[in-house]
Structure 1
C-alpha cells in the first residue's frame, strides 16, 4: 500500500498501533475525522512516509518521538488537535526535508526551538494559536527556501507526486491523474485552500501565542516570504527597517502587540503589499506616505495613540496649526500684490522720517533765535533736575 486516504469521514476512537505492517506507505491522510488518543509509536516505522496529515481530530499528548525516523517527510500537518508539550527539537534535526509544517491550533507550549532553523526546505511554517512563549529565534536567515524568491517547482512536484505514482506502477496499477494535496492556511486573514502546485506561496504564521521580545532583524533576509503574521503576541521593541527588504511580501500582520517606535519608511517601498495590519500597538510618529502606502485605511493603524498622518486624519505635532487660506471672493492674493504693498509701506516710512526729522531740527539750525531758545530750555530743565531752578531765569 502506497496511499491510505481515510479523510473526511466519521471515524472515532484511537489510532491502532499496527503501522509496522504497511511500512511501504508514502501518503497517509486521516484528516477531518473524530480520532482521539495519542499518536501511536509504531507510526515511526513508516520510514518512506512523505505526507502525514492528521489535521482536525481530537488527538492529544505529545508528538510520538518515533516520528523522527520518518526522515523523508515533506508534509507534517497536525492542525486543530489537542496535542501538547514542547515543540520537539528533533523536527529540525531529523525532518530536514519538510516543506510544510502545520501545527496550528493545538496546546503546544514552551519556546520555539532554535533547531527549527535547520529546515532549509521549509516554505510553509504555521505554529499559530498555541501557547508558545519567549522570543522568536534570530536564526531565521538559515531558512534557505524562504530566503530565495524562486522555487524549484519541478523538484517539489517530483517529490510529492512521482514517488507516490511510481509506487502504483510497482504493483501493476496506474493513476489517471496526479494525487493532489489540499493545503489549508490563513491567507490575508481568511482561511483558504490551496492545491499542491501552488506551493510557491511562502508563509510564516506565529500569531496568537505568548511570544515576547523584539522582532529579529534577520527576518529581512527572507526575501521570498509572501505572508508574515506575528499578530496577537507580546512582542515589543521597534519594527526593524530590514523588513523593507521583503520585496515579495503581500500580507503583513503585526497587530495586537506592544511594538513601539515609528513605522520604518522602508515598509512603504514594498510594491506588492496588499494587506497591512499594524493596529493596536504603541507606535508613534508620522505614517509614511510613499507609493501605495496611502491606500491602507484607518483599520491598518488604529489603536496607536502616537501615530499621526492622513490615514488617521490626525495632524502631526511638527505640522503646527496650519490652515489653508481659501481665495477671496473678488480676487486672489498673489506674490506680486504682496511685493507692491511692502514697497509702498517702506516708501511712506522713509518720507515720514524725513519730514519729522527736518520739521523739528531744520528751524533750529537755520534760525539763531530758535536755537538760543531751545538751548535755554535744555539748561532750565537740567537746573530743575539738579535743584538750582530758582537761580535761573528763562
Structure 2
C-alpha cells in the first residue's frame, strides 16, 4: 500500500518549506516588535468553546468542524480558528488580571472540513495576534498596521485593505429590525432562511450571484452606527491615515465568525481569484463574557500563511534566498575531512550557513552538489590548502575564485 497525505492537506517540503518558514517569520516579526508575546495553544478544545464562541449560525460551526468523542465521552473539536482558544486561555490563567491590554501572538495549524481547492485547505496555517482588555481605536489601528507591515516585509504590493464597522449592540439591534423585514420579502431557499434566523448578517456572507443581486438594496449596518460607534470608527480611520495605510470602506463585509463587533477588516490580494482573502480580523466586544470571563473588549487578526505564500508566488517574490548556504565545503581526503568537521562547526557557530560534501565524493560530483545547494560560495580543502592555510573561495554565481586565509573565512562570508 502506498501511503499519501489526506486529501485537502497542504504539505511543505524543501525548497517550498523555506518560503513557508519565511512567510511565517515575517508575519510574526512586527507583532514581536509591538510587544506581543507567544501564547502556545492546544490543537483541540471542548466543542462547546467553538459553538458558543464562534457562533452556531456560521458555516464554520454548522458545516466545517472536525468533531469527535474522546475515550471519556467528551465532545472534542480540532480548532477551526484561534481567537476562542486564546480567550479560554486568558480566562483560565487569569491573564486579564495583569496589565491591560493582554497582547499575545500565536501560530499553527487549523482545521475545517471544506471542499479542497487552491488556497482553501482542510488543514491550513495561520499567524494570529490578540489585544484584550481596552476599547481604544488606537489599538485597532495598531493591529491593522502590524498585519500590513508583515505583508510589506515580504515584498507584497498587490493587496488592498477593506475595513468597516459592525457597530455596538444598539447599532446592530436597530439594523436587525430593518434587515429582518427586508429578508422576509426575499425568495430564499429553506437552508438559507434557517441560517439567517440565527444571525441575519450571515446573508451578506453568501457568495452566490442570485443572493448578491437580491441584496443590492439591503440596509447596511454601517448606516445604523450609534454616535459612539461612529466616533470610534472615525478615530480608527484617522489613525490609519496618520500611519499612511490606505484602505477601502466595504460596508457589506461581515466576516465569517459571529463574535465580531465594531471595527472589522480584511486584506484582499488581487491575483488570487476566488480565494483572495489573505488575512483579516476585527474587534469582538462581548466574546470574553460569553465564555465565562469578564466583560472586556478585544481585537485581533488571523493571517493565512498558505494564502500569503500563494500571493508571494503570484507576485514572483523569491523567499528562499535567505536560507541558502553561505558556503559549501568540499574536503578531499581523510585528513581534509577531519579538519573540515571542526572548521565547519566553527563557521556555523559564527553565524554562517554552511553545508558540506559528505560521502567522500570526487571533486566533479561534489561541485555539482555545491551548485545544486544554491550556496553563494564553494571551498575545496585538500592537502595543499591544509599545508598553506589558504583556500580558493569560489563565487558560485560569477565563477570567480579568490584566495582566502582559512582562519579568516567567516569575515569574508559575512561581510
Same fold (TM over 0.5): no
Which TM bucket (shorter chain)?
A: under 0.3
Between structure 1 and structure 2, the one with the greater Rg is 1
Instruction: Compare relative contact order (CA 8 Å, sep 6+) and give the higher one, 1 or 2.
Output: 2
Please give the TM-score of this superposition, normalised by the length of structure 2. Answer: 0.21
Compare the two structures and name the one with the higher helix fraction: 2
Please give the TM-score of this superposition, normalised by the length of structure 1. Answer: 0.22
